[in-house]
Structure 1
Amino acid sequence: MKKLQFLSSLGFFLFGFLLFSNLKAQNSTSSSLYFPPLGEETWEKMPVNQTGWNQGKLGEFLAWMENTNTRALLILKDGKIVVEEYRGNRLTGLGPMNEGSIWYWASAGKTLTATLMGMAEEEKLLKRKDRTEKYLGKGWTSMSPKQEKAIRLIHHLTMTTGLNDQGVDLDDTDPSSLTFLAKPGTRWSYHNASYTLLKNVLESASGQSFETYFKEKIGDPIGMGGFWQRTGKNHVFYSNARSMARFGLLLLAQGQWDGNQIVTSDYIREMTSSSQGLNPSYGFLTWLNGKSSFKLPAIQREFEGPIVPSAPKDMYQAMGRNGQFLMVIPSENLVIVRMGAHSDTSLIPYRLIRDMWDRFAPVIE
């Protein structure tokens, strides 16, 4: 009996030690980060010679980036700006890009919405296991009542609704375009309309406009500017590169901003972990590196290995059309923002991000 009591006590001690160590590591990471002040344009910079990076390789990387139609490139180390470059004209075509210039996030905005969903759940406004029809009402699809009732919010977050993606407009949220193909949770498919409907879900759950909810929960607390706008049939976020970097810094700090917990660290960890086994490189509307395989939009084929082999395994990304990238690398305390255009017009231009890391990895090795 004493032996069992000893083993039980030892187990509790080890559990407590591991929990304390994990929390200590999180706090250490957060406390080592710099957070730019709210309501100000000032942002502390870190000279390249203080990073320990290969300056020659960095020069080669930046020279290569000049030929990729990049409009904004921002690299943070420990929250401080190491690289900030702007090229080409603004989105309006009126004048050159600068730190205040607005650009579109495209599908990189999905990770913003995923974060808001986690905050709404924390406020008990919704549960991810809830049926979608609870917030959108019956008949939000053209499925049978039984098929529609099977879809839950978690399926929207993980791109596993089972909505038909064959020969339909994937941006169209009209019920006529939302038909059955597979049981929810049995098929991974990158479906924009499924994501866009989360705007309506959040508005129904919060009783506020999506824009107001975003501004109150994320925008104002971290000093993040920008706006949501209907673009075609999509709901797209627009901001400058620094605002995208602020959001990346919030994620890097596990949901904390300068001592204030904006979103729980548990949810950030969950959002940036494999959310299902159909595509292990996908969390909650967020792309993950370092996994055993990945799938791409519009392709059911499974590719072996990580999305970006040359990048750190713990990197996760918000990615959008034409190379809108927000990359967070916890092991390196890095946040990288890339905005611009690119000849690869696929929904997720993974070749561009691979090319970037083939050239940037030697910089930080």
Structure 2
Amino acid sequence: MNKKRKYLLIVVLICIIYLGYTYYPALNIVTGYASKNMASGLFLANRDRLSMEKQDNGFLPINLASYQIDTIEKSVTASLFGLMTRKAIYVDGLGAILVNDDYVKGRKFKVPNRIFSKKMMPYPYGELPQKDTIFGEVNYDKLQKAVNNSFDEAGEKKQQTRSVLVLYKDHIIAEKYADGFDDSSLMHGWSMTKSLTGTLYGILQRQGSIEINEKAGLEAWAEDERQHITYNDLLHMNSGLAWDEEYFNISDVTKMLYLESDMGQVQIANQLVGEPDQLWNYSSGTTNILSGPLLRKEFDSHQDYLDFWYSELIDKIGMHSALVETDLAGNYIGSSYAWATTRDWAKFGLLYLHEGNWNGVQVVDSSWVQYAATPTNTSEGRYGAQFWLNAGGYHPDVPKDMYSSNGFKGQYVFIIPSRNLVVVRTGLVSEPKFDLNGFLRDIVNSIE
């Protein structure tokens, strides 16, 4: 080997070492996202590898990852140029879990007990087809045009809508799916999961277990000003705790979701950058405090904690397709990882449209629904208790009483009480590429 080639090889090796060291956290996050998302898609949502690679994982830098898939173990290992590998395993009942070097193959996990009670009633309260109903006040041509306009034409990749469902007076009046998806397809809700988590606190308050204006009472906060943070502050994203919610960089949220084994502990360690109840800052870490350590302490056993989500909310309202994934510590990732069919996401919207009542059963008090849809004092009308709001007219052509569960890349459950509407949209593109204001305006205007 001549000196020139030798020096070139040394330079290349130095560059590789430098890049590996400098971008180690990024490589870790990229391969973590790639393996976790692929495992959830394959083993939970029953998607095929090609569609996952081209669609859900088809953007830079995630699309640079390569995969090893073990269908026996139900695991996915993602690699990036051989510099970093991460593995996710699928556990029935818990979903896909990112593992680390401490994971022992074959480890037994506690899983939630579920009761799938089929009811001989039409959708949404049972499994039978809904009754054919025509509403004279609905302009079905205008409605279908509004729905069709939210999907891409053949060959386009602009709006990337996967599903739209419109419920009016408890009836599906419009429903459409992109190629490869249907009413049995599980849709990743991302941050729509936050609204499920918040609802659990409404259930606990109804049961008398908590009072939301009480202090959270975490031991780690007992000796400083964080001791004054209440459940209400956390539900409102008004805790005053430092947090960086940026999904396309190394940030608090990406490090939490793809580096941490116990995600509920991350935001607990952060310090105040503002006074509680005086600084609004959207934070998935805050929701994971609620869904992990704070909720867990309400139960005598981990099994009771796991079961509660389903027995008191998800299965209680017939969202039997739904599953909330956990971290390696066994706690639900209440910020980001619930899956359900489009029809089951719509059921969650109906629960709120009917002020917490599900076919005669009061799941949360109507006062809780009002609380969830009331703006925080610092969000300029945009946020309530784990729900986004239109109270400040953010969407100018949509009723101001509209509020919604919103998720990364354009997942939405919209509740519009004044129009008796629930609208669900899932996809891979959000605002501004997807015109939410126009989409909702045209649906609302189709009902006279």
TM-score by length of 2: 0.61
Aligned to 2:196: 112
Give the counterpart letter for 1:194 in structure 2.
Answer: T
- Tell me what 2:58 maps to: none
Q: Give the letter for the 1:229 counterpart.
A: E
Question: 1:43/1:197 Cα in 2 relative to 1: closer, same or farther (>3 Å)?
Answer: farther
Aligned-partner Cα distance in 1 for 2:421–2:196 = 18
**Counterpart position of 1:159:** 237
Within the alignment, does 1:146 sit opposite 2:230 as a pair?
A: no
Is the Cα–Cα contact under 8 Å of residues 349 and 414 in structure 2 kept in the other structure? yes
Residue-by-residue CA offset, 1:116-160 (whole Å, 9 max, x unaligned): 10111121222212222x3xx4226xxx82222121111110011
Tell whether the 8 Å contact from 1:289 to 1:313 is kept in structure 2 after alignment: yes
Could you tell me whether the CA contact under 8 Å between 2:324 and 2:339 is conserved in 1? yes
**What do residues 58-77 of structure 1 show as CA deviations (whole Å, max 9, x unaligned)?**
23312211222111111111
Look up the match of 2:318.
Answer: 223
- Whether 1:256 and 2:357 are equivalent positions in the alignment is yes
Instruction: Give unpaired runs (5+ residues) of structure 1.
Output: 1-33, 89-95, 292-305
- Choose the corresponding residue for 1:195, options 263, 277, 287: 287
Q: What is the CA-CA distance between 1:210 and the residue it aligns to?
A: 4.5
Matching of residues 189-338 of structure 1 within 5 Å: 189-200=281-292, 201-207=294-300, 208=302, 210-225=305-320, 226-230=322-326, 235-291=336-392, 306-338=393-425
* Structure 2 match to 1:84: 175
How many angstroms does 1:218 deviate by? Answer: 1.2
Structure 1 equivalent of residue 146 of structure 2: 61
Larger radius of gyration: 2
Name which of 95, 119, 125 aligns with 1:37. Answer: 125
CA contact (8 A) 1:290 1:309 kept: no
Contact 2:162 2:178 in 1 (8 A): yes
Query: What's the counterpart of residue 274 of structure 2?
Result: 182
Of 315-324 and 334-343, deviating more is 334-343
| One-letter code aligned to 1:63 | N
Q: Does structure 1 residue 353 correspond to structure 2 residue 445?
A: no
2-structure distance, mates of 1:358, 1:333 = 14
SS at structure 2 position matched to 1:213: helix
Alignment root-mean-square deviation, CA: 2.5
Q: Distance in 2 between matches of 1:352 and 1:193?
A: 28
2:187 aligned to 103, 117, 138, which one? Answer: 103
Give identity over the alignment, percent.
Answer: 26
Larger relative contact order (Cα-Cα within 8 Å, sequence gap ≥ 6): 1
Give the conservation status (yes or no) of the 8 Å contact 1:36–1:44.
no
SS at match of 1:221: coil
Q: Distance in 2 between matches of 1:230 and 1:355?
A: 36
Aligned to 2:213: 129
State the alpha-carbon separation in 1 of the partners of residues 236 and 176 from structure 2: 34
User: Is 1:158–1:276's contact at 8 Å kept on the other side of the alignment?
Assistant: no
Instruction: Measure, in 2, the Cα distance between the counterparts of 1:45 and 1:224.
Output: 22
> How many Å separate the matches in 2 of 1:65 and 1:276?
34
The alpha carbon displacement at 1:45 in A equals: 4.5
